[in-house]
Structure 1
Amino acid sequence: MNFPLRRRRVRPRTRLACAAAALLAATLLAGPAAARAPVPDPALAAAGPSTPSRQPRPNFLVIVADDLGWSDLGAFGGEIATPHLDALALAGVRLTGFHTAPTCSPTRAMLLSGTDNHRAGLGNMAELTAPNQKGHPGYEGYLSPSVASLAERLAAGGYRTLMAGKWHLGLAPDQDPHARGFQHSFALLQGASNHFGLDQATSPDKGSVYTRDGTVLDHLEPGFYSSDAFAADLVAELDASRADAPQKPFFAYLTFTAPHWPMQAPAEEIARQKGRYDAGFDALRQARLARQQALGLLAPGTAAHSVRAPLGGWDALTAADQREAARSMEIYAAMVARMDQDVGQVIDALRRSGELENTVIVFLADNGAEALDSKTTGARMLAKYTQSADNRFDNLGSGTSYVTYGPGWAQAATAPSWLVKGYASEGGTRTAAFVSGPGLAHPGSIARAYVGVADIAPTLLDYAGIAAQGTRFAGRRVLPITGTSARAWLEGRAPAVHSPQEAIGTELFASRSIRQGDWKITDNGDGRWRLFDIASDPGETRDLSLEQPERRAALEAQWAAYARENGVILPDTVPYRP
C-alpha cells in the first residue's frame, strides 16, 4: 500500500521570526554584558519544590539537527538565516554545556533510552562495528529491547507519540519506531540519504528505506525534499492525532537529516547564499568566534584550539578548489536555512492549534560538525556514491550531485572547541542545544552547566509526571534510566543537573573522555590521555597532565570504572577517522 507524503505550502517569515531577528540584533548591539542573562541561581535550590501546578501536562517537541555545527545558528554566533530557531533559543535557555555522543545513532540511543549508548545497543554505529565488538551486549547495532524507549514510556502514560525523520536505530520491523512506542511515524530507517529521495528503495541493501507506521513505502511523493517532507508530515500527524484524541498531550520527535552530507538543497535556497563564503573558512572561523563573544556565549580572551589542517589553510587551496569549497558551504548554509523555515511551519501549526504555549521544546544537534572529506578522508567510504555522481560545478547541490564540505568549514563551526564529529573532544560532543517553553526560571538566559543527551528522557518524564525509575516496563525487565532530570535546574530549584563528583564517560571509535565537574581527560583516539580544566579552557588547549598528575590518574581510574560498568569494548579497527 502507498502512503503519500502530505504537502504544505512554504509560508513567509512569521512574527516569531521577526521577533528573533530584532532580539538578536539588539543583543549584538548591546554587547556581551547585555547578552549574559543570569543562569539558574544556586540560592533558589533551598527554596524546595514549587507549588504543584493545575495546568495540563505539557506537550513535548524534540527537534534534532543532523551534523549541525556549534555556531551555525544565529543565536549561537552564525551568519546563516535561522530566525525561527533563533526566536526559540533566545526566548528559552541556551545550553552551552550540552553534550552528546560523538556521532548520530549513539546519541539517538541515549536520547530515547536515558542511558549510556553502550548499554542501549549502540556501543558503536551498526555499520562501523569492529570485529571484536560484534556479538557482545550493547553492540547489537539497534535500540536494544532491554531499554524502554521514551516514546514507549510516554505512550503508556497517556501521550500521543509522533515521529518524523531520521531513525537510525534499527532496520528490522521489530526495530522500527512504530514498534518502539511511536503511534504515528514517518521514518528514514538509515543514517543518511539523498535529500531529494533519489535513492529511495524498499530494501536497505538497495537504497534508503522509508516507513510509515511500520509499513515500508514503495515510493515518495514527487517534489520530495527531506526537511520539507519531515516537517509537513509531523504537522499532519499532529492534526490527525489531535482529532482522534484531543484530550491527550503529545510527544513529537522531529529528526532532520539536514545538514548531513550529501550537501543538497533546493536551487532557490542555494542561490540566496551566493558569494557569502568566498572569503573562506579561516575568515568564517574568526568571524564566528567574535560573534560568540558579542553574544556572551564565549568569554573574552578564551583560547580557541588550533585547526587540524593537513592540506593547509584557505590560502593553500587553488583558485578552483576555493571556488568549489565556497559553493559546498553555500549549499550547506542553504540546507540549514531551509531546515529553519520548516521548523517555522511546525511552530506556526502549534500556534494555530493553541498548543504552543504549553509545549516544552528541546532542540539539539546530534554531534559536532562533520569533517569527512569525500576526496580525502571519506574517499573510500563514499566512493559508491561519488563515482556515479554528477559533480560538475553548476550541478553541485542538486539531487544527482554528492559532495561534503570538509574539515575547514567543520572546524570553523566547532570553534573554539577541539576537533569535530567522531571524537570525544569538545568539538565532537559539545553541540548547539536549547530548551524553550513554559516553566523556565530564567527565559532568555545562557546556562553553562553540563547537561547530557541522556538527561532528556528523565527530564521529559519528570515534566509529564511519569516515573523514570525501576527495571520493569510493560511486563518485561529493562535497564534503568541513568540520566538525570534537569527539571529542578531549569525551574531554578537546583544549582546544577549533575553533581561535581559525578563522573560521566564517553567513547566511540576508541576516542574516549571522562568528565567530573569541570575536569576532563580526553583521548582523541591515539591512546594518549590529556587533562583539561573545561571551565577555564573550553577549547582543550592546555594539557595539565604534568602539572596535576594525581588528578589525571584519578580520572583515569574513573574511566576504567565507567568502561567496566557500561561494557565498553575498544575497537580493534577504526574505519572512520575524519
Structure 2
Amino acid sequence: MFDMRKPNLICAAALAAGLSWLSQPSAHAASIDKTSRPNIVLIVADDMGYSDLSAFGSEIQTPNLDAIARQGVTLSNYHTAPTCSPTRSMLMSGTDNHIAGVGTMAELVLPEQVGKRGYEGYMTDRVVAFPKLLQANGYRTLMVGKWHLGKTPELSPKARGFDQSFALIEGSADHFTQGGTTDRNPKATYRLNGENIDLPKDFGFSSDYFTRTAIEQIGASTGKPFFAYLAYTAPHWPLQVPTAYLERYRGFYDKGYVNVAEARLKRMKAMGLVAADVQINPGPGVWPTWEQLSPRERALEARRMEIYAAMITNLDDNVGKLVKHLKATGQYDNTVFVFFSDNGAEGSNPEDVTPNNAKWIADNFDNSLENIGKPGSFAGYGPNWARVSSTPFRMYKAFTYEGGIRTAAFIAGPGMRHGEISDAYVSVKDLAPTFLELAKVEHPAVRDSAIEKMQGTSAVAFLKGAHPAVHPADQLQCTELFGRVSLLQGDWKMTFSNTPWGPGKWELFDIRKDPTERLDLAVQNPQVTQKMLSQWQECQARNGINWDEQLAKKIRFGNEIKHYETADKQPL
C-alpha cells in the first residue's frame, strides 16, 4: 500500500442546469490522475452488535474482517442511527436522517407525521447521494444487497448513482427465498439495475449470492477506480444459514447470557477497546435471567444464538472471498475498506413487528428446535442475546443508548493509520465527505445553496494521521429516532427514552467515565443539563425534528416485551 497524495478537491460540474448534470460524466473526470484515487469497498452488516466480531472481543470467528481491521484503524467510538434506513440515509447523504427524509422509517410513519417534511420515509431529492457524484467523476459505482431508501424506480439505487446494482428494496427478506418478513409484505422486491426481477434459481443464500455478484461486478482491473457497496442482510432475522454452518457453534451458548457477555468484556479490556473499570450495563430488568428459563427455553435460546453466530462467520467467509479476488486481480493494494454495522443488535421479536405477524409466522414456518436456522424457519434471537451482542453497552437497536447507536467499525487503506484503535468520535455522516475527498470530488452544495449541505466531516486527515480527531470536542452531536434522543458533547451525553427502557425523562452521563450509561448525573449537573437542552432545541430547528416526550410511547417497534411469551411457544 502506498501513501495517497494530498487531495485536490474538484467541482463535479456547473449547476446552472440543475441536478441533471449528475447523470453526465464530468468534464473534469478525464483530467484526474486516476492512479491517485483509490478503489473503495464499503461493507455494511445488518443488525450486528458491537461485540460480535472477534476483533471486538467475540467468540464468533471472523478472521477475514479481523485481518482488515488490523491493517487499519479500529473505530471504537463510531456512531449510527438507531435503525437501518435512517442510518443508510445518513450514509448516502452525509446529513442528519431528518434532512434526508428519513426522520422515521417508512414502515412506521405515524398519522401525525404523514406529509411532514423530513418524515417522508425515503431519501428525498433534497440531498445528493454521494455515489451519484462518484459516478459523474470517473468511478464505477457498484451495489449489492439491502437498499431500504425508497421503493419507486426514481428512488432506487440506479437512480441514485449506481452503474450496476442487485438490490433488495425492502428492509429485510428470507435468506434462501424471495419471501418477505411480515404478513404485510410476504414477498420481497429485488431489482437488477433498476428492473424488478425474481431471484435466480442459483440464489442459494443471501450473503453468498451478494458476494458472488459483487465479485462479478468488480471483475478485473479496468484502470478506472470503483466504489463497491456490499450491504449484507446478515445477521438480520430470520436467523438462517447454509447447511455447512449449522453445527459451527453447537454448544457455544449453553452457558447462558451472562457468561458469554463477561467473557467478551474480558477480551475487550485486554484488547484496549474499553477501559479496565468498565462494567456491563445491567439492563432494564424486564426479561427472565438464564437461570429462570426452563430447559426447553434454554435450548431454543442457545440454538438461536448459534445460528446468529454462524451467520456472522458466513459473512466473514464471504469477505474473505472478496479480498481473495481483489488480490488475484491486482486491485487490493489500492483499495480502501470500510466496515460497520448499520445499528446495534436487534432485540425486538419478529413475531411482534405487526399485530398479525405472530400468526403469519406460526402458519408458514417451522421454528421447532431441530429446524431453527434451516430453510423454512423464521426466528429472531431476542432481547437478552441482543444485549450480549451489545456488550458492554446499554440496550440495542431502536434505542439511542450506546447499545443502539455505537457499532463495530474500522477503516483500512493505503496511506492510512495502521494497526490502531481510536476512541475518536466518528459518525456515519462522516463517510460521504470522506469518500468524496478520497475521490477528489466536490459536493455541489459548495456552489448551490438549494442543495442540502453535508453535515458530516471528512475523516481523511484523521485517517492519515494528520489530525488526532475528526470533530472538535465541544461539537454537539444529536440523534433522534422514534422519540428517543442522544446528545453528545465532549465527555457528556444526554439521552431520553421512554419507560421501561429508561426513566421517561432526560438522563445525563459522563460518557468517557461511564460509557455503559449506568449513573445518571442530571440532578448533580443542572447547568450542563440546561445548556445541552438548549442546544437540543437548536438541533430540532436545524434538522426539522418534530418531537415531544410522548412520541416514544407511540411507536410499536422497540417497545415489545413479548419474546418469551411468543417465540418460545414452539414444540421441541
- Interval containing the TM-score (normalised by the shorter chain): 0.7 to 0.9
Return the letter of the residue paired with 2:520: D
Residue in structure 2 matched with residue 234 of structure 1 by the alignment? 214
* Alignment check: 8 A CA contact 2:479 2:485 kept: yes
Deviation of the 1:472 alpha carbon: 5.9
Deviation of the 1:462 alpha carbon: 0.8
Question: CA offsets per residue over residues 419-455 of structure 1, 9 Å max, x none?
Answer: 1100011110000000011111x31000001100000
| In structure 2, C-alpha distance between the alignment counterparts of 1:289 and 1:386, rounded to whole Å | 36
Q: Which runs of 5+ in 1 are unaligned?
A: 1-48
Return the letter of the residue paired with 1:484: T
| In structure 1, C-alpha distance between the alignment counterparts of 2:359 and 2:119, rounded to whole Å | 26
* 1:514 matched to 2:465: no
Residue in structure 1 matched with residue 97 of structure 2 by the alignment? 117
Deviation of the 1:398 alpha carbon: 1.3
Question: CA offsets per residue over residues 470-525 of structure 1, 9 Å max, x none?
Answer: 2668xx94211110001111111122111122111101111101111221101123
Residue in structure 2 matched with residue 59 of structure 1 by the alignment? 39
Residues 223 and 492 from structure 1, CA distance in 2 versus in 1: closer, same or farther, beyond 3 angstroms?
closer
From 166, 183, 188, the equivalent of 1:208 is 188
* 1:419 matched to 2:419: no
Residue in structure 2 matched with residue 46 of structure 1 by the alignment? none
SS at match of 1:177: coil
Residue in structure 2 matched with residue 529 of structure 1 by the alignment? 506
Q: TM-score, normalised by structure 1?
A: 0.87
Residue in structure 1 matched with residue 522 of structure 2 by the alignment? 545
Residues 186 and 263 from structure 1, CA distance in 2 versus in 1: closer, same or farther, beyond 3 angstroms?
same
| In structure 1, C-alpha distance between the alignment counterparts of 2:257 and 2:244, rounded to whole Å | 23
Q: How does 1:547-562 map to 2 (within 5 A)?
A: 547-562=524-539
Residue in structure 2 matched with residue 146 of structure 1 by the alignment? 126
SS at match of 1:512: strand
Q: How does 1:11-410 map to 2 (within 5 A)?
A: 55-199=35-179, 205-239=185-219, 242=220, 246-374=222-350, 381=357, 383-410=359-386
Q: 385-394 vs 184-193, which deviates more?
A: 385-394
| In structure 1, C-alpha distance between the alignment counterparts of 2:177 and 2:245, rounded to whole Å | 18
* Alignment check: 8 A CA contact 2:392 2:516 kept: yes
Question: CA offsets per residue over residues 200-239 of structure 1, 9 Å max, x none?
Answer: 79xx955101110001112322352100011110000111
* 1:478 matched to 2:451: yes
Residue in structure 2 matched with residue 445 of structure 1 by the alignment? 420
* 1:466 matched to 2:447: no
| In structure 2, C-alpha distance between the alignment counterparts of 1:92 and 1:107, rounded to whole Å | 23
* Alignment check: 8 A CA contact 2:34 2:225 kept: no
Deviation of the 1:179 alpha carbon: 0.9
* Alignment check: 8 A CA contact 2:178 2:198 kept: no
Q: 307-316 vs 286-295, which deviates more?
A: 307-316
Residues 288 and 459 from structure 1, CA distance in 2 versus in 1: closer, same or farther, beyond 3 angstroms?
same
Residues 380 and 543 from structure 1, CA distance in 2 versus in 1: closer, same or farther, beyond 3 angstroms?
farther
Residues 326 and 119 from structure 1, CA distance in 2 versus in 1: closer, same or farther, beyond 3 angstroms?
same
SS at match of 2:445: coil
Residues 167 and 51 from structure 1, CA distance in 2 versus in 1: closer, same or farther, beyond 3 angstroms?
closer
* Alignment check: 8 A CA contact 2:178 2:187 kept: no
In percent, how many aligned pairs have the same letter? Answer: 43
Residue in structure 2 matched with residue 30 of structure 1 by the alignment? none
Q: TM-score, normalised by structure 2?
A: 0.88
Return the letter of the residue paired with 1:547: Q
Q: Which runs of 5+ in 2 are unaligned?
A: 9-32, 560-572
Question: CA offsets per residue over residues 105-161 of structure 1, 9 Å max, x none?
Answer: 000000010000001011101001111111111111111111110110111111000
Residues 233 and 269 from structure 1, CA distance in 2 versus in 1: closer, same or farther, beyond 3 angstroms?
same
Question: CA offsets per residue over residues 142-186 of structure 1, 9 Å max, x none?
Answer: 111111101101111110000000000111111110111000000
SS at match of 2:44: strand
Return the letter of the residue paired with 1:121: G
* Alignment check: 8 A CA contact 1:360 1:437 kept: yes
* 1:577 matched to 2:558: yes
SS at match of 1:119: helix
